[in-house]
Structure 1
């Protein structure tokens, strides 16, 4: 990628993950659906935190996790997201800058507080996520820096953030800037609940030629196509975007680029601990491969290597040297 300052600039939720081990009984007692993600208000957030066991606080947010992986793979990245002027906001800002990611959005004064996601991990490594969006859903279009968007080869949009009205308007503005500058636009669908609310919006953006790269998993791609048939959904949606990347958990991943399909198997995992961030780090590997001009099979393999590392420990930020893991895997 030439004539750019950043390989990827992402717009997403600025969230601190609060992760705790739990069991199925706790999930049931709290009235939660195991393995799901739900939005909660601040009162529910405080009540859930009071009931949880000992927890770890790790900066997260889907798009921010992807950038953290990309930075660890040696790529230049930037992030646009909103935190509040509070302790967790300082934690998030410190962590993302310490990871080598450009971040200069001013913290927001007053309520609500910085977003956080309460992640409950059961012994089978399934995570049940409860997200208080807080300040992140008040990202205004005024913080969209035109020159910053123009300086990135790819603009990456987090589907989760499409839900609140204010950041949705900000992302539409960013798409306009990126398209005018001849940059590529990538979108991750994030979750089936987002699609249930905004699927027609996403389809309209794709039909208008405003999305170049779409990231999904098999549940999301079927939801977007309003079908239970995975292959039919891949065929329908891949016809709308130049590049569709779809993860399938232990069954690996596929990509369809301009009608050409590529598949890879999942990488072996010695110990499955926490699946939080697997899709985020998969995207990081794919973006890195694209930036390096690699064949699609290698891009997908890089994604699989990064995903395998992230699910071997708690949290959605890499702990091992993923660049070294990729180098050993691909030679």
Structure 2
């Protein structure tokens, strides 16, 4: 069982919202979808491997709808319910690149996780967003440690340059040391920030996503570039990195080596680039 611990929120996708004129109407195509890195990974992984999502939503209509949607997608959903479900406004430019205005809501207040929710888990995936606030940081770290004690492996997604810088070099290194992840995911900007912060990822397979350029797989002294197929008709890059993580993890759980796992992740990410919102 793959467990993904973190956020589920509502994404308000604004296609054509990259250049706004202040003080007047700005026509755009607006879609409301499920969001949150952890939820995206769980849903993308569900057709390929048993998966459980663990997180926190508000005791509100949006939270109930999001849980119902994930359950319908085949995810075993375990959530705490209190407060207000979060939401993210995603402004998508003509190249499919995103600018996000984030309100994590209840997801930021994740409390201690019921140990029963970790039963049968052999891999735990953790987006860095879950470590942004002290309370949820403790809850996520404790849950991962409990799963590791029963033999689970851990993967960490660096997720956000802003979150990395907000945590700072010392705290971020402490998180990595505590988790001892088997795999760390990053995009090119996050990888550069990891270098700037002198982050030591010794012992992890470091997967660096670089858009249409080859995925860089770093394992010890080995650096391998894994080619990806370019997508010319990118609609929205929301969730592509999460789809990559889902494809990579599920391939690894099926016995694939890092290079094969990177190829599997890239194939799944491609499908996310051709639709608005995450998979």
TM-score by length of 1: 0.78
Q: Which residue, 129, 143, 150 being the options, matches 1:160? A: 129
Contact 1:16 1:115 in 2 (8 A): yes
Equivalent residue of 1:244, what SS? Answer: strand
> Shift of residue 270 of structure 1?
4.3
| Residues 217 and 237 of structure 1: CA distance in aligned 2, closer, same or farther (over 3 Å) | farther
Cα distance in 2 between the residues matched to 1:149 and 1:51: 46
Q: Deviations over 1:32-77 (max 9, x none)?
A: xxxxxxxxxxxxxxxxxx97845211111111111111112x2100
| Residues 150 and 224 of structure 1: CA distance in aligned 2, closer, same or farther (over 3 Å) | farther
Per the alignment, residue 182 of structure 2 pairs with 212
Equivalent residue of 1:25, what SS? Answer: coil
- How does 1:284-323 map onto structure 2 within 5 Å? 284-317=246-279
Per the alignment, residue 13 of structure 2 pairs with 19
Q: Deviations over 1:124-149 (max 9, x none)?
A: 211111111111111111xx132432
Cα distance in 2 between the residues matched to 1:147 and 1:256: 35
Equivalent residue of 1:81, what SS? Answer: strand
Per the alignment, residue 40 of structure 1 pairs with none
Per the alignment, residue 193 of structure 2 pairs with 223
Cα distance in 1 between the residues matched to 2:63 and 2:101: 18
Cα distance in 2 between the residues matched to 1:258 and 1:183: 21
Number of equivalences: 277
Cα distance in 2 between the residues matched to 1:52 and 1:160: 31
Cα distance in 2 between the residues matched to 1:295 and 1:150: 26
Q: Deviations over 1:241-293 (max 9, x none)?
A: 33111111111212223443332122232411101111101101101110111
Write out the 4+ residue segments of structure 1 that deviate beyond 6 Å after TM superposition: none
Per the alignment, residue 261 of structure 1 pairs with 223
Question: Relative to structure 2, which stretch is displaced further, 282-291 or 174-183?
Answer: 174-183
Cα distance in 2 between the residues matched to 1:52 and 1:92: 27
Q: Point out the structure with the larger helix share.
A: 1
Equivalent residue of 2:193, what SS? Answer: helix
| Residues 220 and 184 of structure 1: CA distance in aligned 2, closer, same or farther (over 3 Å) | same
Question: Relative to structure 2, which stretch is displaced further, 61-70 or 253-262?
Answer: 253-262
Per the alignment, residue 134 of structure 1 pairs with 105
Q: Which residue, 144, 168, 173 being the options, matches 1:175? A: 144
Contact 1:150 1:183 in 2 (8 A): no
| Residues 114 and 138 of structure 1: CA distance in aligned 2, closer, same or farther (over 3 Å) | same
Gaps of 5+ in 1: 1-5, 31-49, 228-232, 318-331
Cα distance in 2 between the residues matched to 1:157 and 1:55: 29
Contact 1:155 1:185 in 2 (8 A): yes
Per the alignment, residue 44 of structure 2 pairs with 69
TM-score by length of 2: 0.91
Q: Point out the structure with the larger strand share.
A: 2
| Residues 150 and 125 of structure 1: CA distance in aligned 2, closer, same or farther (over 3 Å) | same
Cα distance in 1 between the residues matched to 2:8 and 2:179: 28
Contact 2:154 2:179 in 1 (8 A): no
